[in-house]
Amino acid sequence: MPSSSVPSLSLRISPVLPRPRLPLKRLCLLVGTTMLLNACSSMMESTGSLGNEGLDAGATRQVGDRSVAARVLIPGADTLAGATEYPDIWSRIGGGLQFAYDYDNARIDEQLAFYIDNPSYLKIVTERASPFIYEIVEEVERRGLPTELALLPIVESAFNPNAVSPGNSVGLWQIASSTAPVLGLKRDWWYDGSRDPIASTSAALGYLTQLQQMFDESWLLALAAYNTGPGNVRKAITRNEGRDRAVDYWSLNLPSITEDFVPKLIALSRLVATPDHYGMELAKVPNAPAVTLVEVGFQLDLALAASIAGLEPQTLYQLNPGFRQWATHPDGPYALLMPVDVVETFKNNLQEQGERPSVTWDRYVVQSGDTLSGIARQFRTQVGVLQQVNGISGSRIIAGESLLIPRAYNSANPLVAPNAPVYSNAGNNAAAAQAPTRYQVRSGDNLWSIAKRYQIRVADIAQWNQLDPDAVLKPGQLLLLRSGNGVASASSEAGEQPAQPYVVRSGDSLSGIARRFGVTADDIALWNGIKTGDLIHPGQRLQLSPGELKLN
C-alpha cells in the first residue's frame, strides 16, 4: 500500500541473485512435461475475451467450478508435484519461479528492505497461508503458470480469506463484487464465490492468464492490470508511446499502489525461494495437502458438518468463508473444504446421519396484516430467501398459511445474513439483556447472535471492533460493546490482556487510522515501536493505545 517514505536499507541487498538451481530430476521432468503439454495443447480450450460469459479455464473445468470431479490435473503434472521432490511448499514455489530474478530495480530493493526489517510479518502470513497454499500451487502448476502467482494472496489480502478492501473487494484474491459474475463466480445470499478459496483461485488465475495474453505475454503488465485495471495500464502505455518512451512496466506512470504491487510480489518470491540468504524464517508448511474438498451432495448446515467431523465450527467456517449463511447452498455447491485428517471420520458419521435433517426450519403461520417484508424483518432474514424457500414468486401471502424459516442446526436463531440489521419486536415485552462493556466470544457465537442478544446492530459491533460484518469469531475473542455513553475496554476481567489490536486493511495509512480513532500518527508509531514513515501492510496488527482502546 502507498506510503510517503520507505525505510532505509539496513544492509546492502544484492538486487539480482542467482536463480535457485533445479534438481536434475526436476529438470528432466520439466523437459518431458513440456513436450507432453505441447502434445496436449490442442485438448485445451483457448482463453476468451473478458465478458459476461466468463473466462475459459481450460478443458478440465470452468472458472469458479468448485466440484471435486473438476479437480483433475493435466496428465503428467502430478509427477511434477510429487511430495518427495521438495521438502516443503516454499522450496516447491522457489523451483517454479519464472520472472522474479529477471529484473534489477530499486523498487524491488525497497520492498525487500521492508520484509527484512519486519520478519514477523512474513512468518505470520506464511502461517496463515498453510491451509490453502498447497491447493493454490497445485492449480498454478496445473495451468503451467509461474509459481510467483501462488504468492499473490500475500500481497492482496495477507492470506486472509475474509479480507475486505475499502473498495469492497473481498477474499484471498481481492475480487470486486462487480467483477465476480464476469469471472464466472456465483454470488448470492447463500454463497459468495469471491470468498471461496478454491473457486476464487480458479477465477483469479484464469483472469491473470487472459491479462498476460492481452499485454503481449508480459506478466508484469498483467499483474499491474490485475491491480489497477487493464484500462489504466493501456492508458499509461498510450501516454508513453505518444512521448516516444519505453512501454515496459518499470517505465509506466501508474498509481503508486500499483507501482508497489509488482515489486512486492517479486521481493516475496525471492525471499520464499532463498529465505536463508536473507536471514528470514518461514512457517513450516509441508509439500502435501492440508485440506481437501469433500462432496456432500445436499444442503448441509456447517455447524452440523463440524459436529459430524469432530471439528470446532469456527475451523470449518474459516476454511469455507464462501458460505455466507453457515450452510451450503440449497442448489449447490455442496462441497466443503476440510482438514485431510478428518475426512474419513466425516464421511462415516455422515452416512450414519441418515435421514436426519441437515438444515432445520421454523414454521410460521401468517397472521392477518402480515407482509412478506415484515416477516423477513421479524426473523432477520431477507424476502428473497423466504420466496426461494417457500416457492413464492411474488409478495402476496395469505393469513393462515405456513411459511418455512431456515434456521441454523442446533440453534434457536434463524439462519440469516450475518450483517442483517436488528429490529426490535413490538410484540415482545421481554427486555433485552443489558450489554456488557466487553464480551468474550463463546463457541457457536456470531456477530448476529450477539447483536440479537443485546439489541445492537451487527454493523455497529463490526465498526467498534474493526471487523468485517461476515467475520468468523473465535471462542475467547474479546469484543467491545457500547454501554451507555461509554465504550468498553478490551482488557480482560483481570486487566492483564492488552487492547484488541487493529488489523491493517488494504488502502490504510497511519495518518488515516489515526484520524479514524482520534489519535496521532506519532502516537500509533510510538505504541507499536515503528516510525511514522514506515510502510504498513494488510494483515499487520497495530496497538491503538498504550492501555485501553478508546473509539470516538
pLDDT of residue 73 exceeding 70, the answer is no
Q: What pLDDT digit, counting tens, does each position of 207-256 carry? A: 999 999 999 999 999 999 999 999 999 999 999 999 999 999 999 999 99
In the predicted structure, residue 268 carries a pLDDT above the cut 50:
yes
Q: Which of 224, 232, 256, 226 is nearest to 1 (CA)?
A: 256
Between the ranges 43-52, 391-400, 432-441, where is the mean pLDDT highest?
A: 391-400
**Does residue 299 contact residue 380 with C-beta atoms inside 8 Å?**
no
With beta carbons less than 8 A apart as the criterion, state whether 407 and 362 touch: yes
Q: Using CA atoms, how far apart are residues 472 and 133, in angstroms rounded to an integer?
A: 20
Q: What pLDDT does 47 receive?
A: 30
**Amino acid letter, 514:** A
**Is the distance from CB of 2 to CB of 256 less than 8 angstroms?**
yes
Q: Which H or E element spans position 505?
A: none
| 217 catalytically annotated | no
Annotated catalytic residue within 156, 281, 295, 344: 156
- Contact between 470 and 162 (Cβ < 8 Å): yes
Residue 498 scores a pLDDT above 50: no
Kindly report, residue by residue over 8-28, the tens digit of the pLDDT.
Answer: 323 333 334 444 444 433 434
The pTM for the full model equals 0.60
Phi/psi of residue 363, each to 5°? Answer: -110, 125
How large is the average pLDDT for residues 103-118? 95
Residue 478 has pLDDT above 70, yes or no: yes
pLDDT band at 37 (very low <50, low <70, confident <90, very high): very low
What residue ranges define each of the domains in the chain, with the CATH number in brackets?
88-160+198-278 (no CATH), 291-353 (no CATH), 502-542 (3.10.350.10)
351: left (phi over 0), alpha (psi -120 to 50) or beta: alpha
